[in-house]
Amino acid sequence: QVQIVESGGGLVQTGGSLKLSCAASGRSASSLPMGWFRQAPGKEREFVAAVSYNGGSTAYQNSVEPRFTISRDSATNTVYLQLNNLQPADTAVYYCAVGRGRYYTMLARSEDGYDYWGQGTQVTVSS
């Protein structure tokens, strides 16, 4: 089993920044890819970004690059999502997820590629 703890959401004004954190532990979590998804009110959950087990490979949704940056601290197995130049359209609950495929560097962009999910953290951008 994998445990996930997210933090860092909040309320910011348009153009502001936030940094989300996701710490994953247990069952080989450090050897698995991790990703961030988000779900806005009335919309389906969508892929935001993902990172390989060693931080060497990353993937982003087109609409967030280059404003968002995903990174990974292997020592603590914590994944960060730096959100810059936030827009009202970025308002959503952001979910951290742990994928499958130990030491795999190909990154899934669909929910099907992830087995464990955090509880979500709210990001609200005011206009």
pLDDT at position 106 is 87
For residue 98, give both structure tokens: 């742990």
> Residue range 91-119: average pLDDT?
94
Q: Residue 6: its pLDDT value, please?
A: 95
* Secondary structure, 3-state, 29-97: HHHCCEEEEEECCCCCCEEEEEECCCCCCEEECCCCCCCEEEEEECCCCEEEEEECCCCHHHCEEEEEE
Banded model confidence at residue 103, pLDDT cuts 50, 70, 90: confident
pLDDT of 124 strictly over 80: yes
pLDDT given at position 105: 84
Q: What's the pLDDT tens digit per position in 13-72? A: 999 999 999 999 987 899 999 999 999 999 999 999 999 999 999 999 999 999 999 999
What pLDDT is recorded for position 44?
Answer: 97
Q: Work out the percent of the chain whose per-residue pLDDT is above 70.
A: 100
> What's the confidence (pLDDT) of residue 26?
87
CA distance 126 to 10: 11
The whole-number pLDDT of residue 104 equals 82
How deeply is 15 buried, as exposed, middle or buried, from its count of CB atoms within 10 A (0-12, 13-18, 19+)? Answer: exposed
Q: CA 104: distance to chain centroid?
A: 18
pLDDT of residue 37: 98
